Amino acid sequence: MTSSRQPPPAARTESTEPAAVEAEGLRKSYGTVRVLDGIGLRVERGTVFALLGPNGAGKTTTVRVLATLTTADAGTARVAGHDVVAERSLVRRAISLTGQYAAVDEKQTGEENLRMMGRLCGLSRPGARRRAAELLERFGLDHAGGRLVHTYSGGMRRRLDLAASLVGGPRVVFLDEPTTGLDPRSRRELWQVVRELTAGGTTVLLTTQYLEEADRLADRVALLDAGRIVAEGTAAELKAEVGGHRLDVVFADTAAYLRHASRTAVLRSPGTLTVGLPTDGSAAQVRALLDEIDPRRTDVARFALQTTTLDDVFLSLTGGGSRTGDGPTTAPPPGTDARPAHPTETAHA
């Protein structure tokens, strides 16, 4: 069952300064399928805001509405101080959007791609050349600027794609699952680029299925499920909301596991006969839980206390309750091509 829990009041940060992104009551349906069901969010300037959720949660649709590529059925949104409907052209001048696949021309060199984007953004030829050189150096691609893009690795293409999106100096950058399919080294390189962007005052709204990514990068995280934001706050606040720790109990046999699998849990693993229970981590509560579960000392084979992760937050607040089902993941193993369920349009607005 999907949780209808709303973010606690303490999780919201009020500010008198205009936000980089503001949305209220966004709704969007395709036929009888409601994709967004009253989305509201606020992203402060110069921060990283992560929209976290599984495929189909509404992350990409939210980004498309904010980036003026899709019109919401209801609700309002402002980006960089401009209404996304009434001032669409002003919004597009202030943003860039990078989707799940690199939108670069493989038959051109890296430098030619950036110079082309510079000319499209209205720069003079000398200006486009200077901007291309600056971005190639900034993204560690100056040694490969003269090479055709089809010779680039996946991580290099991703960096070039992001560099192209920054040619016009956007105030707000939308990154829609930018590390999909990247190996761990390339993923970490892109994380560093995002940190540098916000250090320079750029606002980043990031969508991701990777919990580690949100945990490491985001100043605030919104958990999106079935078109609704079910929780919002810092990573630490969200972890504290589900207990701060998790007690993993391994049962002695299948019968014992089945007797306890219906408990409110953040993890259920039939294969290992494990149930993960939220706890504050104190010795008193751990003892009480074990006594409640196994008063005769016959059902529990062993147990371990774990620190709560965003994975646990997701599974608890969306009612997933199993790591074997669909949902966010920490990161695919090296060599895995983690492709999304459907392609997403990539554009530099």
In the chain, domain spans? 9-239, 243-307
- Pairing verdict, β 220-225 and 228-233: antiparallel
Q: How is domain 243-307 classified at the CATH fold level?
A: Alpha-Beta Plaits (3.30.70)
Identify the CA nearest to 22 among candidates 85, 82, 92, 86. Answer: 82
d(CA 192, CA 213) in angstroms, rounded, equals: 11
Quick one: pLDDT at residue 17?
A: 66
For 180, list phi and psi in degrees, rounded to 5: -55, 125
d(CA 62, CA 46) in angstroms, rounded, equals: 20
How many degrees, rounded to 5, is the angle at CA 34 between CA 28 and CA 39? 55
d(CA 261, CA 24) in angstroms, rounded, equals: 38
Quick one: pLDDT at residue 243?
A: 60
Identify the CA nearest to 132 among candidates 93, 100, 104. Answer: 104
Please tell me the pTM assigned to this model: 0.69
Quick one: pLDDT at residue 89?
A: 94
What percent helix, strand, coil does the chain show, rounded to 5?
A: 35, 25, 40
Quick one: pLDDT at residue 165?
A: 85
d(CA 129, CA 146) in angstroms, rounded, equals: 13
Considering just the CA atoms, what is the radius of gyration of the chain in Å?
22
Tokens of 66: 């904010």
Three-state DSSP class for 300? strand
d(CA 330, CA 83) in angstroms, rounded, equals: 35
Q: At what angle do helices 110-120 and 154-165 cross, to 10 degrees?
A: 20
Quick one: pLDDT at residue 316?
A: 66
| Fold equal for 9-239 and 243-307 | no
Cα dist. 85→91, 155, 205, 332 in Å? 9, 35, 19, 38
d(CA 259, CA 251) in angstroms, rounded, equals: 10
Residues with Cβ < 8 Å from 227, sequence gap 6 or more? Answer: 28, 34, 35, 36, 37, 38, 39, 57, 58
d(CA 90, CA 144) in angstroms, rounded, equals: 34
Quick one: pLDDT at residue 332?
A: 39
CATH (residue range 9-239): 3.40.50.300
Residues with Cβ < 8 Å from 74, sequence gap 6 or more? Answer: 25, 26, 27
Q: pLDDT tens digits for the chain (349 residues)?
A: 444 444 444 444 444 568 999 999 999 999 999 999 999 999 999 999 999 887 788 999 999 999 999 999 999 999 999 999 999 999 999 999 887 666 788 899 999 999 999 998 889 999 999 999 999 988 889 899 999 999 998 888 888 988 888 888 899 999 988 887 777 877 888 888 888 888 888 999 999 877 778 888 899 999 888 899 988 988 878 777 666 678 889 999 999 998 888 777 777 888 899 998 888 778 888 999 999 999 989 999 999 987 766 666 766 666 444 443 333 444 433 333 333 333 333 344 4
